[in-house]
Amino acid sequence: MDIFKIVCIILGIVCVLLILVLIFINHKYSKTIRGMKEREVDDVSTKHGVRYTIDQTVVDEDGNTNISLSQKDVVLIPNDTQIVGIKNKVKPGKYTLLATNPNEESFNIRIGSYVKEYSHNQSIVLGESQEITAINCSVILR
């Protein structure tokens, strides 16, 4: 065997290994994208920094509550104030309030300087520069 054949064999092996690595990366990446699309809530869009949503069902046919976190949901942690804004985590728009604990049917939220009791699956509308804080438990804004 001359040196040219040895170099060709080594390059062939390197190319096969490179193709196998690319196939593995593509398979892993497509699984991740598929998983993200399955978790994404339908009919939620952001236009010009404002979040628009069509009513989402939070109770299934069996009467069980759906509190699974979806991609565009926002979680309010107790005593962590969020400011509503186009460039912030909570954008202006209509939200459905969901308790993270399925046993809690009502919870307290402070919007601005007033604390009010809200119930699971209640809708609210948040405006620009309002402050929102969950008081007694974590709350999902969908």
Are 29 and 68 part of one and the same domain?
Answer: no
The dihedral sign for the CA sequence 97, 100, 106, 108 = negative
Q: What is the pLDDT of residue 51?
A: 60
Average pLDDT for 110-131: 91
List helix spans (H) across the chain. Answer: 3-39
Range of the domain at 121: 44-141
pLDDT digits (tens, 9 = 90+) for 11-65: 999 999 999 998 888 877 776 666 555 545 555 666 676 665 554 566 656 666 5
Are 66 and 131 part of one and the same domain?
Answer: yes
Considering its fold, how many domains does the chain have in total?
A: 2
Report which residue type is found at 105: E
Are 75 and 123 part of one and the same domain?
Answer: yes
Q: What is the pLDDT of residue 45?
A: 65
Are 73 and 104 part of one and the same domain?
Answer: yes
pLDDT at 96 over 60: yes
Distance CA 104, CA 78 (A): 14
Distance CA 97, CA 119 (A): 7
The dihedral sign for the CA sequence 99, 70, 55, 74 = positive
DSSP for 84-95, please give it.
--TTSSSPSEEE
pLDDT at 81 over 90: yes
CATH code at position 67: 2.60.120
Average pLDDT for 103-121: 89
Are 72 and 117 part of one and the same domain?
Answer: yes
